[in-house]
Amino acid sequence: MTTVYVVTQGEYSSYKILSVFSERSVAQAFIEQPMRFGWGDARIEEYQLDEFAAQMREGLTLWRVVMDRGGNVKEAEVSDSYYLHSSDRPWGANVELLAWATDEQHAIKIANDRRAQMIANGDWPPDKPPPLEKAKHEPIATFDAMLAKDAADKWQLRLGDGVTHEIDFGDGQEPR
């Protein structure tokens, strides 16, 4: 497959293609040449020519399938170009998978096979972390301590020796 090097600039509505090259070095030289206004945030993106030609010749369509860890389908839809280069990664309790398929059922079958393989390979950690093991060593020291809120409604840890530490549980969380 042939790689092309696309020099782009901007984000979202200001995104544009400045030029396309067959060699990375020429694309890099294009960015580095002195210009009256400069290229600013210009960058090089790599793409494969005819990357999906074989799938399209076979009459396949790119599908986006979202499944939970148990294989339950949350969404199945024909993908749009935004998803072309997404990777199969779990996010939370679900995983988003892309599949070139003949129809929705075929896409779900392909996605389910890949979901099962991810779990088997350890690429999708279990929903719940394993239970904590009992400490293998005895504590080095024990001391008296008290956790309380001060007058300014901030948490403080007061140690038995009189030392006080302010504690931030983050995001307004309360200790458990």
Give pLDDT tens digits for 53-91: 888 889 899 999 999 999 999 999 998 765 565 667 777
Give pLDDT tens digits for 83-131: 565 667 777 788 888 889 999 999 999 999 999 998 898 888 776 555 5
Give me the residue label for tokens 């309380």: 148
Query: What is the pTM assigned to this prediction?
Result: 0.53
Residue ranges of the alpha helices (H) in the chain?
24-32, 53-57, 104-121
Quickly state the pLDDT bin for 40 (edges 50, 70, 90). confident
Indicate the average pLDDT of the chain. Answer: 79
CA-CA distance, 65 to 74, in Å (whole number)? 8
CA-CA distance, 161 to 140, in Å (whole number)? 17
CA-CA distance, 141 to 157, in Å (whole number)? 17
CA-CA distance, 81 to 90, in Å (whole number)? 20
